Amino acid sequence: MSAISVWQSVVLGVVEGLTEFLPVSSTGHLKITEGLLNIDVGDKSVVGFTAVIQVGAIAAVLLFFRKDITRLVVAWFRGIANKEKRGHDYRLTWWIIYATIPIVVVGLLAKPLIDGPLASLWVVAGSLIVGSGIMALAEKYGRLAKSEDKATLTDTMVVGSSQILALLFPGFSRSGATMSAGLLRGLDRPAATRLSFFLSLPALTGAGLYELKDAAGGDTSIAALAVGTAVSFVVAYASIAWLLRYVASHSFAAFIIYRLCVAALLIGLLAGGGLTA
């Protein structure tokens, strides 16, 4: 079993926090970083570690959007208690629950593939390129017409289900897939971004808790897990604040260029023997 040191957990926590919510693929960046640090990416305890430190990023979302989350939860309970108070927030909370089901089902059924052949860095490189193409299409054809309160069940299901692409193909980017899906469904940039954040909560929290047994079962210390999670939380909080300001008035162009550069570098390293797939 692989042991991740405290200093390595700091590095991985920074990478996780920076990339979890930016449309550049946190999984892809973590796998590349683990490869550069000579960490066995196929070790179950390493897979568990990376899933657990995502909980730090999720905690950042919970803190940053605490007012919105409280509003949705209150509306949900109020709607359950009183049919006359079932407004958009009540429906949106149910839609988020419904939209999480597909990724849970696929995640459980396809786990051997996700942890096996699909974990290859060649898949990461290809997914970075294909995901960039989809982001470019979203930029070109997105109508940016609907605000968050105009989102429908279909919008939420499409955005939520798009997370499957990132689950199966590391390098695709969960946030890139969900935000692109939101734009293609006609949501404006802030609405697509916020819906992406809300849908990340159940999916990533569930993944972190599910993988906890593997992370705890390896040689990595509790201290390293705690440090990686804490660093992820701090960096992710800053990333969320920056991203929400950025997407309000900027396109995906900078992210697309960055992703393609990382893909080219990764292909070069793999082809030249600097990294093993």
Q: In sequence order, what E strands does the chain have? A: none
The gap from C-alpha 215 to its chain's centroid, in whole angstroms, comes to 19
Distant-in-sequence, close-in-space partners of 177: CB < 8 Å, separation ≥ 6: 131, 134, 162, 163, 165, 166
pTM across the whole model? 0.85
pLDDT of res. 192: 92
Calculate the average pLDDT of the chain: 88
Whole-number Å distance between alpha carbons of 173 and 166 = 5
Residues 170-174, mean pLDDT to the nearest whole number:
88
Whole-number Å distance between alpha carbons of 83 and 179 = 32
Question: Residue 55 burial by CB count (10 A; 0-12/13-18/19+): exposed, middle or buried?
Answer: buried
Cβ proximity of 146 and 191 under 8 Å: yes
Among 242, 244, 228, 261, residue whose Cα is nearest residue 6: 228
Whole-number Å distance between alpha carbons of 274 and 268 = 8
pLDDT of res. 136: 95
pLDDT exceeds cutoff 70 at 217: no
pLDDT of res. 1: 43
pLDDT exceeds cutoff 70 at 231: yes
Predicted confidence (pLDDT) per residue in 17-43, tens digit: 999 889 998 888 888 888 888 887 667
Whole-number Å distance between alpha carbons of 25 and 20 = 7
pLDDT of res. 219: 65
Higher pLDDT, 225 or 257: 257
Among 272, 19, 274, residue whose Cα is nearest residue 170: 19
**Alpha-carbon distances, residue 144 vs 73, 139, 150, 151 (angstroms):** 27, 9, 12, 12
